[in-house]
């Protein structure tokens, strides 16, 4: 019997033939509309994913990027809660289930999973795609209004990814409050734009106000030192481009970088990073410049040179979003 594919490979395989039979022009138009919606600032009172064409285009185009971004956020979160494994997971506004796949890739094994979304076509396709992953076979895909009326049963982990931008400010607050009331840990991921960061920052404040501790990316639960309007905190995940990516965007590169903002917070005390690399490291001759978010609520540029020995070698290998200094043994 063949061993099951890793989640990333299983997802890629499940998405491979998704657009068969859908005219390329229709797929491209759906993708362009979705890009405009997800990067815009206008909330909606209806699902963004309206029909099978929308959902197929979204899944083929966006699921790999969402999977990569949420996976990167969860990896940083998992590092801050060593030994903790969620026993149950609720994916709010989960659509076709990219965050559910990312949770499964971060913590192996099957667990009770509920995906809540207000778009029935997205839920149907998410259920179909999940059939490629035996550990998601028992997931429940449930229609739910995402907003003030949202109710979430008690669970270990709630993810809210790429959905707050679709909501009014009041509904965003209601969704975050519902997640905080239900979960031991909440992870919110939004596009890495100034508006996306602002939504994450507002969610962070509400979670802290509800008694949560920030586990990642911040090394503290105090005020964010980034000044809104002057800069924004975001990170990057590399994503292989599919044929649909190339069809819609053109370009010769086989990959693109998905920018995202996030916060992961827990009811229980985490072990956050000593500091976080918040910009792409700059490697110069004999030195590396690291822009760090520090535990004393400050931003600082650290210069690591050859005379720092092993730390210099670690700095040369450091990436945007990494903890600093790296854990011993890395």
pLDDT digits (tens, 9 = 90+) for 72-119: 999 999 999 999 999 999 999 998 999 999 999 999 999 999 999 988
* Nearest alpha-carbon partner for 218 in 272, 279, 266: 272
Report all structural domains of the chain as residue ranges with CATH numbers, in order of start.
7-266 (3.40.50.150), 276-317 (no CATH)
pLDDT along the chain (330 residues), means of 10: 73 74 68 65 55 73 90 98 97 95 95 94 91 92 94 97 94 98 98 96 98 98 92 93 64 80 98 97 96 96 96 96 84
In this predicted structure, what is the pLDDT of residue 20? 64
As given in the structure block, the two tokens for residue 24 are: 């390329």
Strand-strand pairing, 89-92 and 155-161 = parallel
Q: How far lies 49's CA from each of 17, 18, 125, 127, in Å?
A: 19, 16, 11, 15
Instruction: Report the distance separating Cα 322 and Cα 324, nearest Å.
Output: 6
Q: Residue 27 CA to chain centroid, in angstroms?
A: 24
* Nearest alpha-carbon partner for 322 in 235, 239, 255: 235
| Maximal CA-CA distance, the chain | 60
Q: What is the torsional sign of CA 76, 197, 159, 56?
A: negative
The residue whose two tokens read 């535990």 is 295
* Nearest alpha-carbon partner for 141 in 116, 111, 118, 110: 116
In this predicted structure, what is the pLDDT of residue 170? 96
In this predicted structure, what is the pLDDT of residue 239? 87
* Nearest alpha-carbon partner for 204 in 219, 182, 224: 224
DSSP for residue 46? S
pTM of this prediction? Answer: 0.90
Residue 161 dihedral angles phi and psi, to the nearest 5°: -120, 130
Asked if residue 80 lies in contact with residue 270, where contact means CB atoms within 8 angstroms, the answer is yes
In this predicted structure, what is the pLDDT of residue 62? 82
């Amino acid at each position: 019997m063949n061993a099951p594919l890793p989640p990333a490979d299983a997802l890629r395989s499940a998405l491979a033939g998704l657009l068969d039979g859908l005219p390329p022009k229709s797929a491209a138009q759906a993708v362009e509309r979705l890009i405009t919606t997800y990067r815009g600032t206008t909330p909606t009172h209806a699902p963004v994913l309206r029909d099978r064409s929308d959902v197929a285009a979204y899944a083929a185009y966006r699921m790999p990027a969402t999977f990569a971004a949420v996976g990167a956020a969860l990896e940083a979160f998992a590092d801050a809660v060593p030994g903790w494994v969620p026993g149950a997971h609720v994916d709010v506004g989960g659509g076709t289930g990219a965050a559910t796949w990312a949770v499964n890739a971060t913590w192996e094994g099957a667990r009770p999973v509920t995906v809540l979304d207000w778009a029935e076509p997205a839920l149907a396709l998410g259920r179909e795609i999940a059939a490629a992953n035996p550990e998601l076979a028992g997931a429940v895909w449930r229609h739910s209004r995402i907003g003030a009326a949202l109710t979430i049963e008690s669970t270990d982990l709630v993810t809210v990814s790429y959905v707050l931008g679709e909501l009014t400010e009041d509904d965003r607050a209601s969704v975050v409050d519902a997640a905080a009331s239900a979960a031991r840990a909440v992870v919110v991921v939004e596009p890495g734009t100034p508006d996306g960061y602002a939504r994450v920052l507002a969610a962070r404040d509400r979670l802290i106000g509800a008694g949560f501790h920030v586990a990642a990316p911040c090394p503290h639960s105090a005020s964010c030192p980034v000044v809104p309007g002057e800069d924004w905190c975001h990170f990057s995940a590399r994503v292989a481009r599919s044929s649909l990516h190339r069809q819609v965007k053109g370009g010769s590169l086989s990959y693109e970088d998905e920018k995202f903002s996030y916060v992961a917070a827990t009811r229980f005390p985490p072990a956050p990073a000593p500091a976080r690399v918040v910009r792409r490291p700059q490697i110069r001759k004999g030195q590396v410049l690291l822009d760090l978010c520090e535990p004393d609520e400050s931003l600082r540029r650290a210069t690591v040179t050859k005379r720092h020995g092993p730390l210099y070698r670690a700095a040369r290998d450091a990436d945007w979003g990494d903890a600093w200094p790296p854990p011993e043994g890395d």
